[in-house]
């Protein structure tokens, strides 16, 4: 692995002493991979990124990049390589561009040691990589937010960092541009074979950019996985709740001739991949995660639910539904099925990946 964090803990002096800002986090990226850290405000994402950059000292654990130990704090051993010696590039939320320098001069800023010809070549190469060659002699204020973000990226990449860190790089942009730029940034990083770690509070941004995503809560890394597994195989109830739309519904796992069946208020879930056995929970009693896209609108279904709320999402509605038994479920329904709040509609579960948790273990 190229970037390796082992049991990294960050503690701020004073108030945070009881709860470390980062609590024994381990994760790894191989060379050229892009990682993202997501989680609610205050969960420790930025602190972890700053520890990798060398802007925070770690209280425990070890951070390695390639063959080098960047930070280490364990009994009898302390290493803290200065940030400027780490060969790490950073891109921040506010871009931190110099307003009085042109686009090209901004990109050249990190290359003072190169000769003029080589510096110009590198700047041209970087501007081409981010698609800003034609605006090289303009000033930052003459460019759009998305273009400014790409200058910041070109400037961070120009000195050939071994690792790029991005802290909420898209949060100043409007939603539509954010998604497009996230995809573009991924392409640029992949083209340059850069290993990168991104912090964001927006899961869709993380999905668009990253190969591996870490979900953090209260300083802990709950899961480090790809988007598919975070969604379909959440390791904890927190991850299941944080990623996507869904609800937990009481259920019971029972044996049948066709293998284990999950009995829910919406009917039985059958033919499931990797279904837990009834013995996994006392009496088979558990809670099952029902995602909005596990619930299909089907007027022929005997299971009826009343529409409590609906939110238009373009191609679909997100309906909040209530069963006669009182359970709440969410459903994504194509937006040409336009039903009114208060109406009863037929629904049926269509679940491939079943995700269950013990009943008592609510966070």
Ligand X SMILES: Nc1ncnc2c1ncn2[C@@H]1O[C@H](COP(=O)(O)OP(=O)(O)OP(=O)(O)O)[C@@H](O)[C@H]1O
Calpha distance 8→232 (Å, rounded): 27
Give yes or no for a contact between 133 and 156, defined as CB atoms under 8 angstroms apart.
no
- What are the distances in angstroms from CA 362 to CA 204, 231, 235, 358? 26, 19, 14, 8
Minimum distance, C-beta of residue 47 to ligand X, in the bound complex (Å): 3
Task: Single out the residue of 201, 233, 348, 359 in contact with ligand X (rule: CB under 6 A).
Answer: 201
Cα–chain center distance at 156: 22
Q: Is 265 a binder of ligand X (CB under 6 A)?
A: no
Question: Contact with ligand X (CB under 6 A): which of 9, 33, 46, 356?
Answer: 46
Rounded to an integer, what distance in angstroms lies between the CA atom of residue 331 and that of residue 199?
A: 30
CA distances (Å), origin 347, targets 9, 149, 248, 263, 343: 47, 45, 17, 16, 13
Question: Shortest Cβ distance from residue 50 to ligand X (Å)?
Answer: 7
Nearer Cβ to ligand X, position 43 or 321? 43
Residue number with CB closer to ligand X (42 or 358): 42
Stretch that binds ligand X, among 34-42, 143-151, 239-247, 312-320 (CB under 6 A): 34-42
CA distance linking residue 295 with residue 348, whole number of Å: 6
Q: In the complex with ligand X, which residue's Cβ is closer, 41 or 340?
A: 41
Query: Which has the closest alpha carbon to 244: 167, 332, 361, 333?
Result: 332
Minimum CB–partner distance for residue 12 and ligand X (Å): 3
Give 56 or 287: the residue with its C-beta nearer to ligand X: 56
Instruction: Report CA 73 to chain centroid distance, whole Å.
Output: 27
Say which DSSP state 276 is in.
P
315 binds ligand X (CB under 6 A): no
CB of 296 to ligand X, least distance (A): 35
Judge contact between 324 and 304, C-beta under 8 A: yes
Minimum Å distance from CB 333 to ligand X? 32
Does the protein bind ligand X through residue 318 (CB under 6 A)? Answer: no
CB of 7 to ligand X, least distance (A): 17
Coil, helix or strand at residue 81: coil
C-beta closer to ligand X: residue 17 or 277:
17
What is the length of the chain?
A: 363
In the complex with ligand X, the residue whose CB is nearer, 12 or 139, is: 12
Q: Is 47 in the site for ligand X (CB under 6 A)?
A: yes
Least separation in angstroms between residue 289's CB and ligand X is: 24
Judged by CB under 6 A, does residue 214 bind ligand X? no
Query: According to the binding rule CB under 6 A, does residue 16 interact with ligand X?
Result: yes
- How far apart, in Å, do the first and last CA atoms of the chain sit? 33
Residue of 151, 53, 145 whose CA lies nearest to 109: 151
Verify binding: residue 43, ligand X, rule CB under 6 A.
yes
Return the number of the residue (27 or 329) whose C-beta is nearest ligand X.
27
Measured CA distances, 219 to 4, 193, 317 (Å): 17, 30, 34
Under rule CB under 6 A, residue 44 binds ligand X: yes
The footprint of ligand X on this chain (CB under 6 A) covers a number of residues equal to 12
Report the interface residues with ligand X, using CB under 6 A: 12, 16, 21, 39, 41-47, 201
């Amino acid at each position: 692995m190229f970037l390796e964090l082992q049991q990294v803990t960050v503690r701020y002096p004073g108030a945070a002493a009881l709860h470390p800002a980062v609590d024994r986090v381990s994760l790894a990226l191989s060379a050229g991979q892009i990682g993202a850290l997501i989680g609610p405000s205050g969960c420790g994402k930025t602190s972890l990124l700053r520890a990798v950059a060398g802007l925070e000292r770690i209280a425990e654990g070890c951070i390695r990049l390639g063959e080098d130990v960047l930070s280490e704090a364990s009994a009898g051993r302390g290493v803290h390589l200065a940030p400027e010696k780490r060969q790490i590039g950073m891109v921040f939320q506010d871009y931190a561009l110099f307003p009085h320098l042109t686009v090209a001069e901004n990109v050249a800023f990190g290359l003072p040691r190169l000769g003029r010809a080589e510096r110009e070549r590198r700047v041209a190469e970087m501007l081409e990589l981010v698609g800003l060659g034609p605006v090289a002699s303009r000033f930052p204020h003459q460019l759009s937010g998305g273009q400014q973000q790409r200058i910041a990226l070109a400037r961070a990449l120009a000195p050939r960092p071994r690792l790029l860190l991005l802290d909420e790089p898209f949060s100043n942009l409007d939603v539509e541009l954010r998604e497009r730029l996230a995809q573009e940034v991924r392409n640029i990083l992949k083209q340059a074979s850069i290993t990168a770690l991104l912090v964001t509070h927006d899961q869709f941004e993380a999905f668009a950019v990253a190969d591996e995503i870490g979900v953090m809560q209260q300083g802990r890394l709950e899961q480090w996985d790809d988007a598919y597994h975070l969604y379909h195989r959440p390791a904890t109830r927190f991850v299941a709740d944080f990623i996507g739309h869904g609800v937990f519904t009481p259920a019971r796992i029972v044996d049948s001739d066709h293998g284990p069946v999950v009995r829910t208020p919406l009917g039985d879930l059958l033919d499931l991949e990797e279904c837990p056995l009834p013995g996994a929970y006392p009496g088979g009693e558990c809670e099952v995660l029902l995602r909005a896209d596990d619930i299909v609108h089907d007027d022929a279904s005997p299971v009826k639910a009343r529409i409590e709320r609906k939110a238009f999402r373009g191609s679909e509605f997100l309906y909040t539904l209530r069963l006669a038994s009182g359970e709440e479920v969410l459903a994504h329904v194509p937006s040409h099925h336009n039903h009114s709040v208060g109406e009863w509609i037929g629904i049926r579960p269509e679940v491939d990946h079943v995700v269950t948790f013990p009943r008592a273990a609510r966070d």
